[in-house]
Structure 1
Amino acid sequence: MSETLIVLDSLAERRSKYHEADVVVVGAGVFGCAIAYALAGQGRSVILLERWMKEPNRIVGELMQPGGVNSLRKLGLGHCIEDIDAVTCNGFNVFFYGENVRMPYPQIQGLLGMDGGKAKKTGKDKEDGPRPQGKSFHHGRFITQLRKSCLEHPNISVFETEVVSTIKGDHNPEILGVETRTTNATTGEKEKDCFFGQLTVVADGYASRFRKQFIPETVPVVRSKFYALELIDCQLPSPGFGHVIIGASSPVLLYQIGSRETRVLVDVPEKLPEASPANGGVRGYMKNVVLPALPESVRPSFKAALEKDTKIPQSMPNSWLPPTRQSVPGAVVLGDAFNMRHPLTGGGMTVALNDVVLLRDLLAPQNIPDLADTLAVRRAMNDFHWQRKRLTAIINVLAMALYSLFSARNEELAKLQRGCFHYFKKGVTRDPMGMIGGLIPDPLVLAYHFFSVAFVAIWLDWRTTGLWKVPVLFWNAFWILWTASVVFLPVMYRELLI
């Protein structure tokens, strides 16, 4: 025991005095804290750097799907969603022009969850035991708990400092650590500092300043923004469920994040006519288009929140950044800096935490005793790139495809949107909710259901148009299938095969 304490004290001194460790993690967000804690739990010496240690105020990262909860618990961080006034999420309630379908997370017989296994490709919901549950909460409270866990870990030293650049070797491209600017508590001036590690993990978020240095695909695709309101004492139609409202020009999300607070996220596509300055901007869109489309019980609290503050609501860009293999020795970019999807389905934290579980196992000391072995780390990162796809490809493609359908910017997409809701209304919700929840790691299940929705859309179109217009029916069917393919296949190819 005494020898162990001596080693821990020695490593802690090297971190605090010389700023040296096995791993330097840039960014103490969801991914950064989780990977720091996971690697420290394996005996690695870890330095965690964060520009601003005060509780953050963000409008995304507030809904964790069951798959994310599973991974959080695997990492020994399940306590971080306790005692923060988190709310249990049992699934989603989808509203479509006055109709609604409640879709609980499924307990699928034979499903092996995050570690493998396949689900049946068809069938309605079936009670096979307790259903998985997600959690929703104030993002800042969750981050504070993650950081507290890192601060208390004997193998982690946390520094509040701004990372400004990476440090390279003189004769090779290997990253040796990072250069930072740390505020002197006495003078208030920022002073140069350096931190060194055998491996540098950059997890500095969606607006990463280092992404372009490590990966070739650096510019996320942004099609819209989420504008947020916080509703107080909102009467949700289905307490304990997230709500998706289809009926405005673009989807609206509602989910409870505290005992009294409900988050509403209003998607506003770029150059949306209804949100133009002539129509009152974003606030005018919320008042004139979104408010009438909401369930009646939600409208009073939504209106009160809109009237409470006359400023433009807080917003976040909704981005898609497909994953890319990395080859810079000594460093990797991960988290939102590496891979993003539209937050419509709330899959971001599930992807991040599943990535941490995979990476923890691949970089384990029994596999890679010395992280300075850049070739071994590169092989592990190549395995990581392909192994993660089975789950993350589903979450990413589903988020982008459903957003295209739910925002429905043309006639064919509107038909697919109607077909999707009818598909859910028929009771086929088990697999779709299993995929949204991060519980079914099988891309073939996603492909099956997506094109099943397309054929339901064709059947509804035929029923509406009339069977006697045969040439028109086949022409419409072709365009519906073509649109479904354009929405689904390019994203699926980019996420799964590259």
Structure 2
Amino acid sequence: MADRYDVLIVGAGVAGSALAHALATAPRPAPLRIAVLERSLEEPDRIVGELLQPGGVNALKSLGLESVVENIDAARCEGYCVVDAGAGKMVEIPYPGKHEGRSFHHGRLIMNLRAAARRAPGVDLIEATVTDLIEDNSSKRKVIGVRASLKGQEGKQPFFAGLVIIADGCNSNFRTSVLGGTGVKPTTKSHFVGTILKDAVLPIPNRGTVALIKGSGPVLMYQISEHDTRILIDVKHPVPSDLKAHILANIAPQLPRSVQPALKLALENDRLRRMPNSYLPPTPQGSSSLKPGVILIGDSWNMRHPLTGGGMTVAFSDIVVLRPLLTGVPDLGDWNQVKPALDRWYRDRKPLASTVNILSVALYDLFGADAPELEVLRTGCFKYFELGGECINGPVSILSALAPSPALLTYHFFAVALYSIWVMFAHPQRVPGRPDEKPRYAVARLDQYPFLLYKSARVFYTACVVFGPLLWAEWFKHVGPSKTTLMLGLVGSLAIWSVVFS
């Protein structure tokens, strides 16, 4: 006879393990029976999910899971250091107050999360590969379980539950079947190529380092244990045929000198690993669901660019919002009771999730500048950070998920755009010359102003083109006309505010 549970969770990664623990430990009149099905329960080895922002640390505390980042040789992360390789400058961006993030080996965190889920009452962790969703024969739509191949056994075994939750990650096998094929395909702009540096010396200890590389995308470095530092190098299409030669010739010379020896040693001894940098905006899963009885969570449903390290923070924060909503549903097998909870979840998660998501992609477009207008914005963004004060505190509060405010993000983004335009007129710019000449800098002359005014319009238009579609995908696409009008008015007001007061 097939096993029957209240909840089936497909995937025992970050989201799946944390959600199993959260639902099992939430107060209910009757405890839940929860099964978590995972293809392999061995420690995973990946180059993603290694940095947790302070907002994510706070979410873990809310879930009673703060201990999962202990005893895994995790490193403290107290903020960032942004290095402009072309200008030879560096700016420190500390987290506000005494907030800290954590960085670690991904597999060690996953094993702690799985152990916490296994200890939770009513949770079964099962090593099995889920192959199919089981639908109710009477409706042909409502999902009532899954079929899975248990490790070491032949054939497929059915598992039934009132609610099925898919948390099988960025390469989800069930995303399209749950949400349909329209609008749920991730977009990929580039890849991160990663390896581990041994005993590397970062410019500022306990700071994630973002190096802005001339002619290439950004390079991200952060310590993940006492002796290991992760380096992620952005590589755009087409990917060079010889990645190691490309990195040695074009990337390594522009990195801080203190990390260059460790990088060259890693390139000699270790293999490079590659991961896509994908963006997938969320879609509603309640009243407009195409397939009742099943929902998606984590990267199977919503992804953002990994540059800002916000993926796990969004996943844990999503669970903080979702847990009390599902706990308030008397019968998780009744989709009519579950739908309102999912609709509320979609709305309540927006401030934090949309802020982190929009920032990640917008910041990558600036830092990975491949057009003249974007290069102006990248230079202006760096100089904006150099101003210090709220020009650092505001953006880093957003990045760290401590200030989940789309309004604050909109203000700072357009403040950067306008300051970038000011920089073109008022700050010395490099004067073109021969490569062997010493660089010369000069402030724009009066006769250059007409061209700069034209370029300013293009820069501001580019900023709107970068920010607008992201704001639409995260806020406007699935809301009614009245809410859309309200949000458009808010964004317009903020843009005018930034023009006046920046």
* TM-score for the superposition, normalised by structure 2: 0.87
Report what 2:340 is aligned to. 379
Alignment gaps of 5+ in structure 2: 427-442, 478-502
- Post-superposition offset of 1:190: 3.0
Report what 1:140 is aligned to. 107
- Post-superposition offset of 1:384: 0.9
Report what 1:195 is aligned to. 159
Report what 2:53 is aligned to. 65
Alignment of 1:83-232 (within 5 A): 83-97=71-85, 98-107=88-97, 131-172=98-139, 173-184=141-152, 189-216=153-180, 217-232=183-198
Alignment of 1:228-377 (within 5 A): 228-248=194-214, 249-271=216-238, 276-277=240-241, 281-309=242-270, 311=271, 313-326=272-285, 327=289, 328-364=291-327, 367-377=328-338
What are the superposed Cα offsets for residues 187-207 of structure 1, whole Å, 9 maximum, x if unpaired?
xx5321111111000000000
SS at the partner of 2:155? Answer: strand
* Residue 476 of structure 2 is aligned to residue 497 of structure 1: yes
Point out the more displaced range, 397-406 or 38-47.
38-47
What are the superposed Cα offsets for residues 47-88 of structure 1, whole Å, 9 maximum, x if unpaired?
111000000001010000000010011111111000000011
Alignment of 1:406-485 (within 5 A): 406-427=367-388, 428-463=391-426, 464-485=443-464
Report what 1:29 is aligned to. 13
Higher relative contact order (CA 8 A, sep 6+): 1
Q: Partners in 2 of 1:194 and 1:72 — Cα distance?
A: 33
- Post-superposition offset of 1:442: 1.0
CA contact (8 A) 1:67 1:437 kept: yes
Q: Partners in 2 of 1:307 and 1:377 — Cα distance?
A: 54
* Residue 26 of structure 2 is aligned to residue 39 of structure 1: no
CA contact (8 A) 1:412 1:479 kept: yes
Among 57, 63, 68, which residue is 1:75 paired with?
63
Alignment gaps of 5+ in structure 1: 1-16, 108-130
CA contact (8 A) 1:90 1:134 kept: yes
- Post-superposition offset of 1:103: 0.4
* Residue 366 of structure 2 is aligned to residue 405 of structure 1: yes
Q: Partners in 2 of 1:466 and 1:177 — Cα distance?
A: 70
Identity %: 42
Opposite residue 354 of structure 1, the aligned amino acid is S
Q: Partners in 2 of 1:182 and 1:473 — Cα distance?
A: 65
Q: Partners in 1 of 2:115 and 2:160 — Cα distance?
A: 23
Opposite residue 243 of structure 1, the aligned amino acid is T
Q: Partners in 1 of 2:379 and 2:108 — Cα distance?
A: 38
Opposite residue 212 of structure 1, the aligned amino acid is T
CA contact (8 A) 1:89 1:241 kept: yes
Q: Partners in 2 of 1:139 and 1:191 — Cα distance?
A: 32
CA contact (8 A) 2:36 2:123 kept: yes
CA RMSD of aligned residues (A): 1.2
SS at the partner of 2:307? Answer: helix
Q: Partners in 1 of 2:305 and 2:123 — Cα distance?
A: 32
Opposite residue 207 of structure 1, the aligned amino acid is N
Q: Partners in 1 of 2:9 and 2:450 — Cα distance?
A: 60
Aligned residue pair count: 445
Q: Partners in 2 of 1:465 and 1:21 — Cα distance?
A: 70
Point out the more displaced range, 369-378 or 75-84.
369-378
SS at the partner of 1:222? Answer: strand
Opposite residue 417 of structure 2, the aligned amino acid is A
Among 49, 55, 58, which residue is 2:37 paired with?
49
- Post-superposition offset of 1:465: 3.0
- Post-superposition offset of 1:18: 4.4
Opposite residue 92 of structure 1, the aligned amino acid is Y
CA contact (8 A) 2:2 2:157 kept: no
Q: Partners in 2 of 1:320 and 1:84 — Cα distance?
A: 29
Report what 1:3 is aligned to. none
CA contact (8 A) 1:397 1:492 kept: yes
* Residue 3 of structure 2 is aligned to residue 19 of structure 1: yes
CA contact (8 A) 1:222 1:320 kept: yes
Q: Partners in 1 of 2:282 and 2:184 — Cα distance?
A: 10
Among 463, 466, 475, which residue is 1:487 paired with?
466
Opposite residue 258 of structure 1, the aligned amino acid is S
SS at the partner of 1:465? Answer: coil
Q: Partners in 1 of 2:357 and 2:222 — Cα distance?
A: 21
CA contact (8 A) 1:215 1:325 kept: no
CA contact (8 A) 2:397 2:403 kept: yes
CA contact (8 A) 1:94 1:102 kept: yes
Opposite residue 165 of structure 1, the aligned amino acid is D
SS at the partner of 1:363? Answer: helix
SS at the partner of 1:167? Answer: strand
What are the superposed Cα offsets for residues 393-445 of structure 1, whole Å, 9 maximum, x if unpaired?
11001000010010101100000000000000111110100011011111010
SS at the partner of 1:161? Answer: strand
Q: Partners in 2 of 1:374 and 1:399 — Cα distance?
A: 34
Report what 1:9 is aligned to. none
Q: Partners in 2 of 1:91 and 1:258 — Cα distance?
A: 16
* TM-score for the superposition, normalised by structure 1: 0.88
